[in-house]
């Protein structure tokens, strides 16, 4: 049987590492794990490499490494930023800054777009293949009822547009390639830590649960789904 060839970008993250462990559990899968910090999984079917969205040549190098394992069935981009030492989601327009927007867009929009540029040509062309990037429900313009989190929301809305635009191009060239955004639910990770206080336990997923649900969503996707955004429960999220 041919091996399932999977690349996970953002493999050091809460959800990204759960994806790596999920696929590593399948002995007939070959897993390429890319992360900025170069997390080593020490698992027989996982190869770990580095990639930083601030340096496109690192993405190009990563794609070259990936190409040595043969064509890919699946690429999952599980990177993202909501806060760091100098970034906090804005409560009001008074908190907006160019730096916050630049940081959010670099990691949440531009990085995944550059991964698509270098990794889409590696996907299988004559068989079903999937390129999925983790987005967020808050990137939906029609679903925005609460306001706030301006840079993060805008960067995810822009990511959804990038994915839609790529899906149109792929439909013309690689009809079996499916390009989607995925919302993982609210997941217990470093990214959500400061915002978990008001989340009921039943709505705070473990990374393992979210990754499992998202794999089930990915497994059910067809080319007609390309360009859309789906939540962990398989329901489409409107733009
Ligand atoms: N957690 C949630 O509740 C939730 C909800 C909705 C959507 N999401 C989305 O799900 C995705 C994964 O989130 P998570 O909860 O797993 O977050 P996380 O644990 O904080 O992981 C974030 C990942 O992004 C990587 N990253 C950040 N900046 C990068 C850069 N410049 N270059 C390369 N990699 C970079 C990190 O790499 P290093 O650690 O190696 O620096 C890490 O692997 C994100 O897109 C997030 O927006 C999460």
Residue 1, pLDDT > 80, answer: no
CA distance 22 to 5: 13
Closest among 177, 87, 170, 81 to 123, alpha carbons compared: 177
Tally the domains of the chain.
1
Please provide the average confidence, as pLDDT, over all residues in the chain: 97
User: Is the pTM above the cut of 0.95?
Assistant: yes
Which pLDDT value is given to residue 2? 80
Average pLDDT for 1-8:
90
Residue keyed to tokens 């008001």: 198
Question: At 46, is the secondary structure helix, strand, or coil?
Answer: strand
Closest among 203, 230, 237, 193 to 214, alpha carbons compared: 230
> Helix 111-119 to helix 56-67 angle, to the nearest 10 degrees?
30
The pairing of strands 229-231 and 236-237 is antiparallel
CATH number, domain of 215, equals 3.40.50.720
State the distance from the centre of ligand 1 to the C-alpha of 2, rounded, in angstroms: 31
State the distance from the centre of ligand 1 to the C-alpha of 80, rounded, in angstroms: 3
Average pLDDT for 80-95:
97
Structural domain that includes position 76:
4-237
Dump pLDDT digits (tens) for 12-56: 999 999 999 999 998 899 999 999 998 999 999 999 999 999 999
State the distance from the centre of ligand 1 to the C-alpha of 70, rounded, in angstroms: 27
* Cβ–ligand 1 contact at 192 (below 6 Å): yes
* Cβ–ligand 1 contact at 53 (below 6 Å): yes
Exposed / middle / buried, residue 145 (Cβ in 10 Å: 0-12, 13-18, 19+) = exposed
Residue 72: other Cβ atoms inside 10 A: 24
């Amino acid at each position: 049987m041919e091996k399932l060839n999977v690349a996970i970008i953002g493999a050091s993250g809460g959800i990204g590492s759960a994806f790596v462990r999920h696929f590593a559990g399948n002995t007939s899968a070959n897993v390429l794990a890319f992360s900025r910090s170069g997390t080593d999984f020490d698992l027989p079917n996982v190869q770990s490499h580095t990639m930083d969205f601030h340096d496109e040549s690192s993405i190009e190098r990563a794609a070259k490494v990936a190409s040595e394992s043969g064509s890919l069935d699946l690429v999952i981009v599980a990177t993202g930023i909501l806060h760091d030492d100098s970034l906090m989601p804005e409560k009001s327009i008074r908190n907006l800054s160019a730096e916050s927007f630049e940081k959010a867009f670099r990691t949440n929009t531009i990085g995944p777009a550059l991964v698509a540029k270098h990794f889409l040509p590696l996907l299988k062309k004559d068989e079903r293949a999937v390129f999925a990037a983790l987005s967020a429900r808050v990137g939906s313009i029609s679903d925005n009822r609460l306001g706030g989190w301006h840079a993060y929301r805008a960067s995810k809305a822009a990511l959804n547009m990038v994915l839609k635009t790529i899906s149109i191009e792929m439909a013309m060239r690689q009809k079996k390639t499916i390009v989607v955004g995925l919302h993982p639910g609210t997941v217990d990770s470093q990214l959500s830590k400061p915002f978990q206080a008001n989340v009921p336990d039943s709505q705070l997923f473990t990374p393992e649960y979210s990754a499992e649900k998202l794999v089930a969503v990915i497994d059910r996707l067809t080319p007609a789904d390309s360009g859309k955004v789906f939540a962990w429960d398989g329901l489409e999220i409107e733009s």
